[in-house]
Amino acid sequence: MAKTTYTCRECGGTNAKWLGQCPHCKAWNTLDETVAEPAGHTRNGRFQALARSQPVATLSEIAAADVARTPTGQEELDRVLGGGIVEGAVVLIGGDPGIGKSTLLLQAVDALSAQMKVLYVTGEESGAQIALRAHRLGLAGTRVRVLAEIQLEKIAAAIEAEAPDFCVIDSIQTVYSEQLTSAPGSVAQVRECAAQLTRLAKTRGCAVVLVGHVTKEGALAGPRVLEHIVDTVLYFEGDTHSSFRLVRAIKNRFGAVNEIGVFAMTERGLKGVSNPSAIFLSTHGEPVPGSCVLVTLEGTRPLLVEIQALVDSGGPSPRRLSVGLDRDRLAMLLAVLHRHAGVSCMDQDVFVNAVGGVRIAEPAADLAVLLAIHGSLRGRALPRGFIAYGEVGLAGEVRPAPRGQERLREAAKLGFSVAVVPRANAPKKPIEGLTVHAVDRIEEAIEAVRGLA
Ligand code: TYD
Ligand code: MG
């Protein structure tokens, strides 16, 4: 067994034993177990394969070669990957258990097996279970090679022997290296195993997909550190109770970030949804108070998402809860609503939810959130066919959202007829079927809505 040492996450200092406090920078609880490297040759050896000595060159003289991509056969997955799998790229796919990571990858691996050598390493399920899933997905006669193994050294040997072009590790949390004593899934193991696999990917030119589970807090169990090691980070979103799943690119060295792929979980696996703009709307017979539809722009495509709010009398310390939206931002918006529009939710519980399990990070959701809250508080529904978007600032101003016209056109296409938007987003030419109210301030927006009801 290789010697282990403990390395501080903050300062990189090392110590032979684990300590609660780093002896170098005095930070607490920052020592992780790592493989000790014999001074000198090993570290050099590790990097030699990566960077065969290259001369220093002038940037303008280097030919800008675009990377070659192999489409996975899943259009929505290719969209988030930036066009397909890149040789030697390392992709991390995170998500809640049961959301469909293994299903999506098995489908992708099967499609890729027609054009390249693929290896599916499973540490969570047996070969028989994978076979059962493949059967369910209708992948008879698939050429996917499967290895049920959790020991890193054996996996590495299998990759050397099989020489795949594409390899899936399902999941990184089950893999352990013999060189470390800590349990599989611990930060040290996950980090070391991911680093070894990344090295293997780069030296062999084999694309590697690491599956990672997400803990309750939303961080990948233990290692956010993985995000730095890999080339692309994808996260699954969505409510396991609904059939829709989003795959979002958080980081991508080979494509755009914040691009999303939309899938529907069916009896026969995940199917791409090519026109997803209306899937996050719930259907109300009559407009209900506390609901406002938002046009959000995710990656290249606009999505219509219903924001729901419930304001109800609370106790001495009222609760503010949000699902799919940022809670701190909600607290800020409530303060803006109070100060600038004179609408107080001081002694009220406030709950907001983005329908369908979608997570919305863009501030353009502010206006819809505030109008939904206001509607719930007053018990008044917004008119039928109403949409809103726009960022709300601390001074009560409504700021424009990027690509506002596109959002309005998408809403009009789906039959929405009234919009309240930031002044700078008001269309130059009227959009057919859509009445647009442009506002500068939050109180104007509330006034405009009152005039509509
Ligand atoms: P899975 O891919 O095992 O999730 P993960 O690897 O992210 O933990 O997904 C399992 C869920 O998907 C499970 O609840 C069953 C469902 N499912 C379908 O609805 N249809 C299918 O064809 C398959 C294979 C799974
Ligand atoms: Mg799985």
Query: How far is the centre of ligand 2, averaged over its atoms, from the C-alpha of 178 (Å)?
Result: 24
31: left (phi over 0), alpha (psi -120 to 50) or beta: beta
Locate the DSSP E strands across 48-191. 69-70, 85-86, 90-95, 118-122, 145-148, 166-170
According to the model, what pLDDT value does residue 216 have?
A: 57
- Contact criterion met (CB below 8 Å) for 222 and 185: yes
Q: What is the pLDDT of residue 219?
A: 55
Contact (CB, 8 A) for 335 and 357: no
Task: Give the pLDDT score at 1.
Answer: 58
**From the centroid of its chain, how far is CA 82?**
15
Ligand 1 in contact with 102 (CB < 6 A)? Answer: yes
Q: Please tell me the total number of residues recorded for the chain in this structure.
A: 453
For residue 402 and ligand 1, the question of a CB distance below 6 A is answered with no
Q: How far is the CA of 225 from the centre of ligand 2 (A)?
A: 21
pLDDT of residue 42: 47
Check if the beta carbon of residue 148 is closer than 8 Å to that of residue 102.
no
Question: What is the per-residue pLDDT for 256?
Answer: 83
pLDDT for 411: 93
Atom in ligand 1 nearest the alpha carbon of residue 97: 8
- The CA-atom distances, in angstroms, between 93 and each of 85, 89, 171, 218, 233 are 13, 13, 9, 13, 6
Per-residue pLDDT of the chain (453 residues; tens, 9 = 90+): 567 888 887 777 888 888 889 888 888 888 888 877 654 444 444 444 455 567 888 888 888 777 889 999 889 999 999 999 999 999 999 988 889 999 999 999 999 999 999 999 999 999 999 999 999 999 877 889 999 999 999 999 999 999 999 999 998 999 999 998 888 888 888 888 999 999 999 999 999 999 998 765 555 554 467 888 899 999 888 877 788 898 989 899 988 887 889 999 999 999 998 888 877 777 777 889 999 999 998 878 889 999 999 999 988 889 999 999 999 999 999 999 999 999 999 899 999 999 888 889 899 999 999 999 999 999 999 999 999 999 999 999 999 999 999 999 999 998 999 999 999 999 999 999 999 999 999 999 999 999 886
Q: What is the rounded radius of gyration, in angstroms, for the C-alpha atoms of the chain?
A: 25
Cβ burial of 41 (10 Å; 0-12, 13-18, 19+) is exposed
Joined tokens for residue 140 = 């008879």
Whether the CB of 136 sits within 6 Å of ligand 1: yes
